[in-house]
């Protein structure tokens, strides 16, 4: 089937209808559809349109209870701990980052930890959310075991996405959104289907050799951590901080929970931090921002005409294009959403 | 010249004498010597014994004013901003992490940003400091430009070390201490001298090809960011958050400052965050900690008998060994310290 083009309005309206049909209140359905649509507009189809069907399935099977919201477990001044209470992942994560921003407006910094959460889809969304309110944002989540720790044959750690964001002039925020795997399974699949090899080493083949062949890595399910031992180490600390602060499940326990309940990924632990730079008085950040962006853009590029970019640089352009031209989706995927 | 073995007591006493001789108060000299000695005991010679001569040189040339301490610039509830005021880097960083812990004891979380700082030596020290007090610690610093952003021919970003720590049972804390370069210049040098190649790609050679030859990378001074584009992106956000929150210098400005003043690395920006898990009430962290460590240790290793390790795992053993047997130093380095 061919690709089709849908407008953001049509996408958002359709998703809101489906989410409401599968149990969300009208208000929550609109909010969730807004997040999925923004993620698609920003170019992250993998964690929006391509995940709608699975997310709706979770509403049906009970992994998500569509009318639930997180419950406050404990709090002290600038820190709070919630239990996600089976709430939809994008709503509970959005709630927590907004709450962290509120705490930051009161205390200069705020931290919210969330236990037993559903998948928040695109990690970077919550970094953008904080930056758009003028806060430095940080957040991270653990995941099911899907990556081998350095030196291990088994996938015993998570790819544990990590986000840092900085509010910049005219909405051109800098937003890091990185998982601890060098390549996602999505990227492996796309590269294999295109008949290409990865640009750098990506994982292990069946003989235990490091390879750039995406299909071989999909078979072993042993992708490489980003930076080898470095991403492995960072994944472990992301897991430990998230589980400790939320008093939730660590990656191994998420895997155990999924096995016991025969279900998809859920029950993850998340941390959200917001810092208010305005609380610290005058800053010369416009000059600093310009110096940072200039130093990235003006460095002599390896490939003539292909300057380095800062994280998040392409997002606003992608969003503007999507607003004007809509989004390209495979007809098959779109039909499967319409059928929900 | 041969290697010699010195006790921790002798090392600490000698360093304190030298630091006092070069301008520190007795109290600050003892504190600084304690940090350098701890770093050596923990196995990080590169950022302790091997940096003493340079640090003392900085006291003599004015990069460091040995009697200065950071000055409070602004503060609001749980966040504070300081100017390092040319204070010794290990003392100003130690002060800031301790202050972040105090703020966390008051507010659940605390953040201290430090502008115009001197080199803090071993980044992980401050993560251990927080963990030993029972806090989750995070800290990061920018550096001079010493790494090319992804796609750049020039070293326009910093290797910007990043630390996360979690307090664990019996002092067996998990501490991530990672720079954004895949290999440090120290590692390149050691590998070249040993006549070996790097275990993974480490940087560019003179023809612009990615290589494992440490000498070739030392020549181009174009090491790879950890995880290629991932470490490059994270380096940029570390730089931006540190400069924004401290209202200090970004990496490009650090480079500019060094050029204008014809001096070594200084004037960097740092961020310290402490979070008090005790503020959130009851936690099952002993079970979580066991589950995390077991999942690392019990995964089938690639090499029989070489289990995966968690970050910081070897530190206590190294410390205990150093306390018992002392530390091995080259006689040349030791004599150069005695001559200061």
Q: Is the pLDDT of residue B97 over 70?
A: yes
Q: Residue B79 and residue A108: Cβ atoms within 8 Å?
A: yes
Nearest to B288 by CA among B167, B202, B183: B167
Chain A positions touching B176 (Cβ under 8 A) are: 233-234, 236-237
Distance CA B53, CA A310 (A): 37
CA gap A317, A310 in Å, rounded: 14
Chain B's closest residue to A79, CA to CA, is B108
A188-203 as b/e, with b when 16 or more CB fall inside 10 Å? Answer: beebbeeeeebebbbb
**Inter-chain touch B292–A251, beta carbons under 8 Å:** yes
* Tokens representing residue A322 in the block: 């999507």
Contact B140, B163 (CB under 8 A): yes
Rounded Cα gap, residues A175 and A168, in angstroms: 10
CA dist B230 and B221 (Å) reads: 19
C-alpha of B298 from chain center: 30
Under 8 Å CB-to-CB from A163, ≥6 apart: which residues? A123, A124, A126, A127, A137, A138, A139, A140, A175, A176, A177, A178
d(C-alpha B114, C-alpha A231), whole Å: 27
Phi–psi pair at B257, nearest 5 degrees: -60, -40
How many C-beta atoms lie closer than 10 Å to residue B154's C-beta?
Answer: 18
CA dist A58 and A86 (Å) reads 10
- Count of other CB atoms within 10 angstroms of residue A4: 15
Q: For residue B84, what pLDDT band results from cuts at 50, 70 and 90?
A: very high
Q: What is the pLDDT of residue B74?
A: 98
Chain B positions in Cβ-Cβ contact with residue A234 (cut-off 8 Å):
164, 176, 178
Question: Which residues of A are catalytically annotated?
Answer: 47
Q: Nearest CB to A152: which of B108, B164, B300?
A: B300
Enumerate the active-site residues of B.
Answer: 47
Q: By three-state DSSP, how is residue B338 classified?
A: helix
| Dist CA B321 CA B29 (whole Å) | 25
Contacts of B293 in chain A (CB under 8 A): none
From the CA of A165, how many Å to the nearest CA of chain B?
7
The number of angstroms, rounded, from the C-alpha of A146 to the middle of its chain's C-alpha atoms is 15
Q: Would you call B303 an interface residue with chain A, using a CB distance cutoff of 8 Å? A: yes
Answer whether B279 touches A (CB < 8 Å).
yes
- Please tell me if residue B300 touches chain A, with a CB cutoff of 8 Å: yes
Rg of chain B over all Cα atoms, to the nearest angstrom: 20
Which residue among B150, B227, B253 places its CB closest to the CB of A308?
B150
| Token reading at A21 | 């049909």
Optimal mutation site among A96, A99, A106, A107, interface B, most CBs of chain B within 10 A: A107
- Could you say which residues of chain A have pLDDT below 70? 1
3 state DSSP class of B210: strand
Taking contacts as CB-CB distances below 8 angstroms, the residues of chain A near B243 are: 285, 288, 292
What is the pLDDT at residue A108? 98
How far is C-alpha A106 from the geometric centre of its chain's CA atoms? 27
Is the CB of A69 inside 8 Å of chain B's CB atoms? no
Who's near A141: CB < 8 A, 6+ residues apart?
A117, A120, A123, A160, A161, A238, A242, A268, A269, A270, A271
Name the helix (H) or strand (E) containing B295. Answer: helix B285-297
Query: Cβ of A202 under 8 Å from any chain B Cβ?
Result: no
Which is nearest to B251 in space by CA: B263, B237, B230? B237
pLDDT at residue A282, rounded to an integer: 82
Contact residues on chain A for B74, CB-CB shorter than 8 A: 280-281
Across chain B, what does the average pLDDT equal?
Answer: 97
CA dist B61 and A144 (Å) reads 53
CA proximity to B161, closest of B268, B79, B87, B70: B268
B59, B91 in Cβ contact below 8 A? no
Q: How far is B196 from chain A (nearest CA, A)?
A: 19
Characterise B220 by phi-psi region: left (phi > 0), alpha (psi -120 to 50), beta (else): alpha
Alpha-carbon dihedral angle through residues A138, A157, A81, A129, given to the nearest 10 degrees: 30
**What 8-state DSSP symbol labels residue B211?**
E
State pLDDT tens for residues B259-293: 999 999 999 999 999 999 999 998 899 999 999 99
Q: What are phi and psi of B142, to 5 degrees?
A: -90, 175
Q: Do B78 and A73 touch (CB under 8 A)?
A: no
Distance from CA of A107 to the nearest CA of B (A): 5
| A residues 117-176 lying closer than 8 A (beta carbon) to B | 136, 145, 148-154, 156-157, 164-166, 174-176
Q: CB-based contact (8 Å) between A277 and chain B?
A: yes
How far is Cα B334 from Cα A60, in angstroms, rounded to an integer?
A: 69
Q: With contacts defined as CB-CB under 8 Å, which chain B residues touch A284? A: 247
pLDDT of residue B1: 67
Strands A79-83 and A109-117: parallel
Contact between A240 and B178 using a beta-carbon 8 Å cutoff: no
The three-class DSSP label of residue B266 is coil
pLDDT at A1: 67
Position A283 scores a pLDDT of 87
ipTM value for the complex: 0.98
Residue A294 touches partner B, C-beta closer than 8 Å: yes
Residue B84: strand, helix, or coil: coil
Q: Tell me the C-alpha distance between B271 and B93, whole Å.
A: 9
Q: Looking at chain B, which residue has its C-alpha nearest residue A166?
A: B241
Residue B222 has pLDDT above 80, yes or no: yes
Tell me the torsion sign for CA atoms B159, B161, B162, B164. positive
Contacts of B285 in chain A (CB under 8 A): 243-244, 247
What are the chain B neighbours of A301 within 8 Å (beta carbons)? 151-153
Instruction: Tell me which residue of B251, B302, B18, B78 sits closest to B149, measured CA to CA.
Output: B251
CA-nearest residue to A284 within chain B is B247
CB contact under 8 A, A111 and B275: yes
User: Residues 31..60 of B with a Cβ closer than 8 Å to A: which?
Assistant: none
CA distance to partner chain A, nearest, from residue B90 (Å): 24
Task: Report residue B160's pLDDT band, with 50, 70 and 90 as the boundaries.
Answer: very high
Judged against a pLDDT cut of 70, whether residue B116 lies above it is answered with: yes
| Dihedral sign (CA A249, A225, B218, B243) | negative
**Shortest alpha-carbon distance between residue B166 and chain A (Å):** 6
pLDDT of B317 higher than 80:
yes
């Amino acid at each position: 089937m061919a690709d089709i083009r849908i407008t953001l309005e049509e996408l958002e309206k359709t998703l809101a209808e489906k989410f409401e049909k599968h149990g969300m209140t009208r208000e929550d359905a609109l909010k969730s559809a807004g997040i999925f649509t923004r993620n698609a507009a920003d170019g992250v189809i993998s964690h929006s349109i391509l995940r709608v069907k699975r997310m709706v399935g979770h509403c049906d099977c009970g992994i998500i209870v569509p009318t639930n919201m997180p419950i406050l477990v404990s709090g002290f001044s600038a820190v709070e701990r919630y239990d996600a209470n089976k709430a939809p992942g994008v709503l509970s994560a959005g709630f927590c980052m907004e709450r962290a921003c509120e705490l930051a407006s009161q205390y200069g910094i705020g931290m919210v930890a969330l236990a037993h959460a559903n998948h928040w889809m695109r990690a970077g969304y919550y970094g953008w959310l904080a930056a758009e309110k003028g806060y430095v944002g940080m957040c991270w989540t653990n995941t099911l075991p899907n990556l081998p720790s350095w030196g291990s044959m088994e996938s015993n750690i998570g790819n544990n996405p990590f986000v840092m964001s900085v509010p910049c002039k005219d909405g051109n925020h800098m937003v890091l959104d990185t998982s601890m795997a060098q390549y996602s399974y999505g990227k492996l699949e796309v590269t294999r289907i295109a008949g290409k090899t990865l640009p750098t080493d990506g994982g292990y083949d069946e003989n235990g050799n490091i390879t750039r062949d995406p299909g071989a890595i999909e078979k072993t399910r042993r992708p490489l951590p980003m930076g080898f031992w470095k991403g492995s180490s960072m994944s472990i600390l992301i897991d430990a901080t998230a589980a400790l602060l939320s008093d939730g499940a660590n990656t191994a326990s998420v895997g155990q929970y999924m096995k016991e309940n025969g279900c998809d990924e859920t029950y993850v632990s998340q941390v959200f931090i917001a810092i208010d730079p305005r609380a610290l008085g005058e800053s010369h950040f416009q000059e600093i921002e310009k110096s940072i962006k200039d130093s990235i853009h003006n460095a002599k590029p390896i490939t003539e005409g292909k300057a380095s970019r800062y994280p998040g640089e392409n997002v606003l352009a992608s969003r503007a294009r999507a607003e004007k031209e809509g989004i390209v989706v495979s007809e098959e995927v779109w039909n499967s959403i319409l059928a929900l």
